[in-house]
Every structure is written in structure tokens, then in C-alpha cells.
Structure 1
Amino acid sequence: MPTANLRQWLLKPAIWCLFCFNTAAYAAVSPIPLLVEQCLNYQFPTKSNLDNQANKPNENISFIIENEAIALERNLIGFFNINDRLKYYRHFPLTYADRERVLQCQLYLADELALFFKSAEFQSIRFKLAASQDPNIQALAKRINRLAKNTEKPYDKAQLHTAQATFKQGVSSQSLSLNFIGERCKLDQTAAITEQVTTEQVTPQRNKSFNDSLASYLIKQPNEQCRKQVWQAYQGRASVKNHTALMQITELRQQQATQAGFTDYVDTMLSQQWLAEPSLVAKFLDAQTQAINIAPWDLGQLLAKAQSTKVESYSSKLWLQQIGTVLETLGIRFSEVNPKLYRIYHEDRLIGEVYVNLGKRIKAKAIRHTVVGQQFGQFELTLLTDLNQYKTQSQVINVIAQIVSQLASGDKYYLNNTLGETQDSAQIDLLWLQTWLKAKLLPTPTQGSREAILQRYSAQLQVFRAKVALNTYLAADSTNKFDLNKAFTLAFGKNWDNISDSAYSFSAIVYQGPIYYQNIWQQAVANDIYQSTKDCQNQKRVFNNLVVNETASDLATRLQLLLGEPITSDSLIKRTQYAFNHQDQHPRSCTFLRQ
């Protein structure tokens, strides 16, 4: 690739000049300089190390294709590991110099990958992979083609990322000043929120976000109309600032759609999803809409009066033991090497290591992903010392399920283990495992509890925002557009006066775009799978089929096996209509493997 080689020759000295300053000072304590060196020295596959069967014309074609797929995997595994490690280190409070190193390497690898996808070497091997009858290689071909197809032009990518960053900054900003006309909406000066309320305006504390002030105001303000006005003003705080950025993003997306031969960006994105048409997404969102009659500005007062679901208190170590004991049913075993290191086994096969530490937030960060026959995975898990709330215990279950679902993936190709068949099906296995574990370990949130209220409200907020996102990217004359005023009122029981502000109230609209629905959809499918298989005696086989998937079966095949009937988009939408209800609306006997 002459262009790539020239670009690399020009770029490396520039990056090294940027990083030379103070490198020696950081090298003793920071792993970033070594990682940068590995990053800049990484070579993408070339014809010489991919076309290793050229001199064996009599070799079986299937064997040749498999060997080339393995050769590609071995050549790309270094790229994947470096990229994962860069993502891992970005979570740390790095120095300015190290942040620049990490960012520049990510940009370098992304650009080099884009050039590789355009190379003759890649074009040659993608056609060979497409001819394979091996399910694992077929799955690999689909994923690598999707990556190549979604590679954007550098100029468009720069414009898009700049506009997205501007939009996100506007939404993240909590700077807001509200002028009240008259005395009606002013809180009593003796209230706890006094420092945020003056005789003429509401402003944030100097060292406290307006988000806290907003929540406090909504809880303490007895007048509903005042709560509504303040909430609406907050949601629309970025509408003027972000209008230009959103227009630029939608125009860029429309250009991409037109160039690809699609009507609009919704058609472009959905062509690669399980729900492959706008009408199907609209139908699903309508099916998920429920009248909860909880206005957003009334939520705080409702939660303040509600009781939390009671749980038994655990230390993080004991809660891990509880989760580990339940997971043994699925063939997963935790082995404690020391208090800070656990090894995880599936059917006595080591699948990964988890490094545990205590912190202020519960989170899991991938260090390296599992690839069968190549490497086992590594995760860092951060936990609270004590877990005495439903919320924190649920969060630990979520991150443990995240770790286990990734480590247990049973494919020998990295992309098959880390990318879903489609974006809107990639986390169904994870969400099923979370649902399964919570059913085993946590009580069902009591009706009227804070947890139950939040679950219902969050679900409808996601449904509404998915409608907003779909509307934003649909063609102006599309028949699939929602009446957002009607949609909001139907779900929350009240109207939003400035409904156009809804497009400026969440940053996911410019990142996920029209596939914002994917989280709701996947949770609904996962819940349906759980309800359909929870009475099966052999839960290990459910886990192996859905999560491990060693045979690389496509989603339709696995769903047919798990749900006991051929599955279409329409039939699955009907099955998931009640997925957010805690009560099983349609009890089913186990049909999995005729058990």
C-alpha cells in the first residue's frame, strides 16, 4: 500500500516528536510509552503473511480458507489487543502527555485499519472467506465486512466527530439560569435549596451541579406547573446551542445514505439490523409503549415518598461468592487465587482472570478479550466495600454478567466473540444472563417501590427517546414518523409544551442515532427468552446455546431452538410486547430441546 506506507513514514516521526518531551520521566512509572511504541510499530497483514497457501494448488479449498482465516486472525490479534489496552488506559486519570499518546495511537490505528480495508490483500481474503461453508468463518466474514462497510472517509469522520463532541458538550453543560416572573414559583427562602434560589432567578451552586439543584427543586416545589416549567427549561437548555451541530450531523448522515443508495439514514442503519425496516422498529416501539402516567417533573416527589425494596446486606466478597455459587448451575466456576485475583472456568476450561479492587463506583473494564485457542481474557472489576442496597447488588450482578458473557464466548475468532451478528442483537446473551442472575439472587421489586417505579419510568423514557431518534433521521415525508406530542402524553400522562426540545436532551441521539431502540429491543428479547426457558431443567444447555455458542449458530437458529418455534421479526415483536412487565403475561412451559 504505497499511500499507507508514505503516510506512515510521515506520521511516525511527527507523533514521536510530540511524545519525546518528558518521555523519560514517565517511562519508569507509566506503561503508556511502551504501548505507544507497540502501537506505532504494528504492521497490518500483507500479501506475504496472508496468502500462505498460494503454492499448494492441490490443497482442499476448505482447508485453505480456514488456514487463511486463522492467519488473518493471528495477524490482527495484535491490533485488537493494542486497541483494547488503549481503551482500558483511557479510563485512568492520565497526565496530559499520556492522554495525547493514547488518543494519537487510537487515531493512528483507526486510520491504518481503514487503509487495510481498502487494500488488495483484504479484498482478496474477504472473497475467500465469503465462499466458506464453515459457520465460524461465515460469521467472521459478516462481521469483518460490516466493519469495512462502515468505515467513513477521513474528512467526513472529522466533521462528524467534531459536531458530536460539540453536541455532547452542550447536553453535558449544567449551566442554567431561570428567571421567575412573580412569586408563585419561588421556593421559601428557608428551604434547603435557598442557596440555589434568589429573588429573581435559579442558579447552580458554585461547587455543586445544577442537576442536584434541579432534583432538589422538583422534590421541594409543591406547585406542579412550576415543576413542569423548570423541568422543561432544563431539558431545552442546549437547544439553541446544539441546533447547528444536530443539523450538520443529520446532513452528513443523509449524504452517506444517498451515496449508499438509501432513502435516508434510518434505512442505511436498519439494513444491517435484526429489525431491518423502519416500520418494524415503529411497530416494536408502539408495542412497548405503556401509560405509566408519571410525568418526569413529578418523578422526584413520587420517589421521595416510595420505599426501597429491602435486601440483605453483603460485603462485596460475600456477594461475589453468592453469585459464583449460582453460576455453577451454568458450568461457570470462580477460583479465588487471592483476594485481588479470581480465575474463571467454564466446564473446567480456564476462560479468564478478573482483578478485583475496591473503589467508589461499581464497574468492569476489559483488558483483553477471550479468543479460544489464542488467549484467555482479562478484566478489572471495581466494587464497593459493602452492598446494602438493591441498586448496588444489582449493579454487581450486571458487571459480573458482562464479564462472564464475554469470557465464555466460545469462538476462535476475536470479532465473533466481541461483535454481535447485528448491533441490535449483540447483547441479548448478556441481558439474558443479567435477568437470570437477578431472578436467582434478588427479590422482585415490590409494587410501588422506588425500584419498580424507576424501572417503569426508565423503560418508557427509553421508548420515547427511541421515537425521537427515529424521527430525527427519517426522511421528511416518511410515513413511519411518530407524533411526538401524542407519544409523550400517551406514556407519561402529561404534555411537553416544547416537544421539539426533546431532540436536544440526550447525547445518544448523535451517537446511536436511529438504532437507539437497540437497548430496549434486546432487553425485551432477553426477557422473553428467560420467561420461555426458566422452567427448563438443564439451564447449562440454555447458557451454552445462547452465550457460549461454540457452533457459531446465527441468532434465528438459536431463538428457534430456545423458543420452540420459527421466529420472524413480527412474531418476536408480539412475544416481547409485555417484556417490561414484572409479571409474566404469557406463562409458557419449557420447549427447549423438548425438555
Structure 2
Amino acid sequence: MWHIQKSILVLTAKFKAHLVGLFIVLTGLVNTAAYAAVSPIPLLVEQCLRFDFPTLAIDPSLDSKTNAITLERQLIGFFNINDRIKYYRHFPLSYADREQLLQCQLYLADELALYLNSVPFQSLQFSFAENQQPQISALLSRINYLSNNSMSPTHKAQLHTAQAAFKQEVSSQALSLNITDSNCRISEAGTVSVSRGFNGTLASYLIKQDNEQCRKRVWQAYQSRASGKNKLALTTIKQLRQQQAIQAGFANYSEYRLQRQVLHSPELVEQFLLTQTDNIAIAPWNIGSELANSPSTKVSNIAPKQWLVLVEKELLAFEVRFDWIDNKIIRVWHRNRLLGDIYLSESNKVAVKPIRQLVVGQQFGQIELSFPTRLANYQQQKQAIKAVSTAIKKLAKGQQFYLLNTISQTDDTSNLDALWLEYWLADRLLPQIMEGSREELLQIYSKQLYVFRSKIAVNLYKAPQQKKLLDPHQQFYLSFGKFWDKTEDAPYTFSAIVYQGPLYYQKLWQQKVAEYIYHSTKNCQDQAAVFDMLVVNEASNSIETVLKMLLGSPVTADSLIKRIKHAFDAQNKHASSCTFLRQ
């Protein structure tokens, strides 16, 4: 059975009764508190630092389901404040506010570690183990993961320090080139450049420079910028991760990190990535000029509210409907069940900001969606679909426990529901991407960059003797049709390699699985049943059961890789018949 592997810190704590009410009030201050003249963060942090875990009383005369619900009621206020902290982090904060939030998070993390090791909590785990109900079994698997994957404070501090240092160097966008080769200098505003220096962005240089060899040299120099400074940080991170793996009984961190995933070994991940490798014959140093010279796929310029009305019409197929309270608040229903509220705000970019998680029987959800004044291009509307899909996925979850609604059975299936909904809505609301368009080029290039980086990430954390099986130099050529002279710099080019590590592949994997599910079920008459199975999942079915129901037969990791590859090979593309529930 696949278990969960959620690489996040879930802050769990117990609240005093009079404080729970306070934070439920705070949670209701949506769309205004963040903009208040006086920051609410000091009060939030002050109360946070006073929190004590409740004394967990296990009543042996009651069944474990009742005890689980009692625990949920005790902890729901804490989960809310944890989500509130994450919400505020979306906004530009003063240095003092950021430090206060960090202090709160560190305190809660320490309290969590103590709580997970407490006798009352361990007694609760034993109580859950005796219950065979799907929801209780699923809840226990999440709790066990939290209990078994806590790091020592020293280990955690060393890791986070090294990760922060690595990210800072990679994030630096500064570019100042001393170009000694006169052939690689570029003209500014139609005049011949006599200066050796260039202080613009990398993208602007690559677009303006006509000479491919110059573009390649500059791009490679830019990719090498952080390798020297980050060698110590990456070495430290690899050593800490290897210690973590050995302590858990694994030979290397890749094997340890993947063991609870659908793709549960480095070999399976590499097998999948190789099926997704296509030679697009566009090198990274050439993509800028290719995009600049490509036409865009046209869409209708539309206001966000008008667009949301179109979304609502499509969601009726799942029996999801909107009640417009006013122009800023949408109340969302699924059949006769109130899911929660979506708050609309204006910003330069499309964004989704969860505020409070829906928990059936405990509370409704709250989410903020931000849009520009107009959705004027394809990319904006695609991002809007992604944001709405995430919002609906979070609001429609049908579990009685917070952890089941927020942590999936595995990392590499955690977003299948939202991605499936993205494909569903995009097929109805977006035009087909124009062949040779900017959107098509960006899509195929982004995929191959992701494939290559995924190979680098899983390879980095393998045992030394295993790394020879994957040659980065050759893999780069297989994706882009050109050679990168120093592929040893590749691990230093993206910060996700030190955060997600071997799990970097999971975004692409989930996109392909969700796309396969969509094409396998889109001809089913009862789309609401697909929505119920994949998104709501009130029965707490395992991912194995969900995939079996949706795809019509038991699915192993190996067979799913092959089925995805076969389904999207050009020579095998054909209309899929519905197999869901034998309809």
C-alpha cells in the first residue's frame, strides 16, 4: 500500500477554550485584516505563544471514531491559526512582522515535537490502529507519518540554514558581463556598442543577441554563477539527507524519499522520465528568441466576474453552484452542502490564497482569489483556471478530519483532483493552442526542462555507484538537441533541488496522470460521479481504489507509466471510451 509522504510541517497544537473563539473570529476577518492600518500580526503571535496543548483524554468506553472527532474539535482552532499564518505570508510584511511569525512557527514546531512523543498521543495512535474504518485508517497513516518523520532541532536548523543559503544564491538575478569578444557585444537602441559591459537581464541579452555561440556562452556563464558559492551548502544538505536516510534504514535519500510514493523507487521515476523525454531541438539559450518571434494564441479579453459566470455554468455538471453575495463574495455549494466562501480581490497577477480549510461537521472553507482587472491573454486565463480549480478542490473535500483534507496519501498524487479539474475546465473555456504559437513552444520547452531537472534531482541523492547509470550530459542532449558544456553545474541552477529533492518529478507525473484520467473519463455521462470519486472522496478511498474505479482495472506504477506513454503517443491517439463504473 502506498502511504503518505508529505514534505511539509503540519503545525499541530492544543488550544485553551477561550482562545479558540478568538481565532475563529480572526479567521472571519477576511479581505480586510491584511490591509488594516494596524497590523494584526503582533496580537496573533502573542496569543500563539501562549498556547498550550490540551490534555488529551482517551475514554476507553468510547470508540476510536468518537475519540478522533473529539481530537479534531480540540485542534481545529490551531489548524486555523496555522492557515492564517500561511495566508499572511502572501502579503508584503515588515521585517518585524516576518520575525514574529517565524518566532510563532518555531514555537509551535517545538510543541508539536513534544506532543507527538507524549504518552496520551501514542495511546490515541494505538486506539486508531484497532479501528478498520477507512477514514480512521487514513487518519492514522497521516499521524504515523508525522510521528515518524520529525527531525532533531539541530539537524533541522542545519538543514534550513543550508537551504536558505542555497536559495539566496540561486535567486540572485544580477547580471554584469565583461564581454571581451567584440562579436558578442550587442547594440543598444540601434547604435554600435563599444562597451564591454552589459548590465541588463539575461533574457534581454539572449533575445537581442543574434549569434548563437554568444548566447550559449552567456547562458552557460549565468548557470555557473552559483556553483562556486553553493558547493558547501549542497554538500551539507546531501550529508544531512543521507544521515536521515541511513537512520531510517535506507541506502540513500532518493530511495528513502520515494519509498511511500506511487513511483516508489528511483528506477521507476527514471523510467517515467525517459518516456517523457523528447528532442525538441530548442536549446535553453535559444528559447527567448524563439518565443519572441512566435505568435500568441488569441483569447477573448474578459472581466474576471464575467469569466467566473462562465466557470459556474460549467461547474453545474458536478452540481457545484455559486451564490453571489455581492461582487466580492461567492458562496459555494455542492448539491445541498455549503462548502464555504470565495473572496474576490484585485491584483496584478492571478493568485489563490487559502484562508481556512473546510472540515465536514466542523467548519466551512474560506479562500481568496485575486485577479487583474481583465483576463486579456491565454496565460492569464490558464492561470485563472488553475486558481479556480485549486479553490474548488479545497472547498469540496468531503472528510471529517483536517489532516485528511490537507495531506494526501502520497506526494505524487496530492494534486490529481485539481489538475483533473484544470483539464476539464480548460477543454471548455480555452481555445486549442495554435500550432507553432508562443504557448505551444513554452509548453514543450517547459516540459523538457522539467524532465531534465527531475533526472538531475533524483540522481543527485542516489548512491555514488548508481549515478553512472544516468549521464546528465547525454540526457540534456536527448531533450534539447544541443550539448551543455558543463552539466555538472545543473544541480546549482534551481532551488527546488534542495527542498523537493528526489520528489521534483511529481508535478509532471501528476499532470500526466490527471490528463490520462481526464481522457479516460471525459466521455462518461455522469461527470458528477467522477467529481465525487476523485475530488470529494467522502468514503476516504485509497489512491489505489480511486485509480482502479476511474481507469477500469487495478493499476501498478509500472503499468500506469506504460499506459500513459501509450495513450499519448501520436500513433495511438484515439477517442477514449468510458470505463468508469462500467458506464
Contact 1:163–1:248 at 8 Å: present in 2 too? yes
Q: How does 1:456-535 map to 2 (within 5 A)?
A: 456-478=444-466, 481-535=469-523
Contact 1:187–1:221 at 8 Å: present in 2 too? yes
Contact 1:129–1:137 at 8 Å: present in 2 too? yes
The residue that corresponds to 1:203 in the other structure is 199
The residue that corresponds to 1:137 in the other structure is 136
AA matched with 2:545: T
Q: Which of 286, 298, 309 does residue 274 from structure 2 map onto?
A: 286
- Rounded to whole Å, the distance in 2 between the matches of 1:27 and 1:517 is 40
1:116 equivalent to 2:115? Answer yes
TM-score, L = length of structure 1: 0.89
The residue that corresponds to 2:398 in the other structure is 410
The residue that corresponds to 1:557 in the other structure is 545
- Rounded to whole Å, the distance in 1 between the matches of 2:512 and 2:408 is 17
1:410-463 Cα shifts (integer Å, max 9, x gaps):
000001101111111100111111111101110110111111111111111111
The residue that corresponds to 1:50 in the other structure is 57
Change beyond 3 A, Cα 1:513–1:481: farther
1:68 equivalent to 2:77? Answer no
1:313 equivalent to 2:322? Answer no
The residue that corresponds to 1:158 in the other structure is 157
Deviation larger for 342-351 or 582-591: 582-591
Q: How many pairs align?
A: 550
- Rounded to whole Å, the distance in 2 between the matches of 1:586 and 1:147 is 44
- Rounded to whole Å, the distance in 2 between the matches of 1:579 and 1:94 is 47
Q: CA deviation at 1:272?
A: 1.8
The residue that corresponds to 1:14 in the other structure is none
RMSD over aligned CA atoms reads: 1.9
Deviation larger for 478-487 or 309-318: 478-487
- Rounded to whole Å, the distance in 2 between the matches of 1:28 and 1:442 is 40
Contact 1:525–1:579 at 8 Å: present in 2 too? no
Q: How does 1:193-592 map to 2 (within 5 A)?
A: 199-204=195-200, 213-478=201-466, 481-577=469-565, 585-592=573-580
AA matched with 1:120: V
1:359-417 Cα shifts (integer Å, max 9, x gaps):
11110111100100000110111111111211111111100000000100000000110
AA matched with 2:196: E
Q: CA deviation at 1:34?
A: 2.7
1:148-197 Cα shifts (integer Å, max 9, x gaps):
222111001000000000000000112233232321111124449x8xx7
Contact 1:313–1:388 at 8 Å: present in 2 too? yes
SS in structure 2 of the partner of residue 314 of structure 1: coil
Q: Which of 24, 33, 40 does residue 31 from structure 1 map onto?
A: 40
AA matched with 2:176: S
Deviation larger for 92-101 or 461-470: 92-101
SS in structure 2 of the partner of residue 345 of structure 1: strand
- Rounded to whole Å, the distance in 2 between the matches of 1:479 and 1:117 is 37
Deviation larger for 218-227 or 72-81: 72-81
Change beyond 3 A, Cα 1:71–1:517: same
SS in structure 2 of the partner of residue 378 of structure 1: strand
- Rounded to whole Å, the distance in 1 between the matches of 2:391 and 2:179 is 49
The residue that corresponds to 1:148 in the other structure is 147
Structure 1 unaligned segments of length 5 or more: list them.
1-25, 57-62, 205-212
Contact 1:371–1:411 at 8 Å: present in 2 too? yes
Contact 1:470–1:481 at 8 Å: present in 2 too? no
Q: How does 1:157-176 map to 2 (within 5 A)?
A: 157-176=156-175
Deviation larger for 244-253 or 481-490: 481-490
SS in structure 2 of the partner of residue 91 of structure 1: coil
Change beyond 3 A, Cα 1:518–1:582: farther
SS in structure 2 of the partner of residue 386 of structure 1: coil
Q: CA deviation at 1:555?
A: 0.6
Contact 2:175–2:202 at 8 Å: present in 1 too? no
Contact 1:397–1:437 at 8 Å: present in 2 too? yes
AA matched with 1:44: F
- Rounded to whole Å, the distance in 1 between the matches of 2:70 and 2:194 is 68
Contact 2:459–2:467 at 8 Å: present in 1 too? no
Whose RCO is larger (CA < 8 A, sep 6+)?
Answer: 2
TM-score, L = length of structure 2: 0.91
AA matched with 1:287: T
Deviation larger for 339-348 or 580-589: 580-589
Change beyond 3 A, Cα 1:582–1:143: farther
- Rounded to whole Å, the distance in 1 between the matches of 2:400 and 2:37 is 36
SS in structure 1 of the partner of residue 325 of structure 2: strand
Deviation larger for 214-223 or 365-374: 214-223
- Rounded to whole Å, the distance in 1 between the matches of 2:37 and 2:296 is 49
Structure 2 unaligned segments of length 5 or more: list them.
1-34
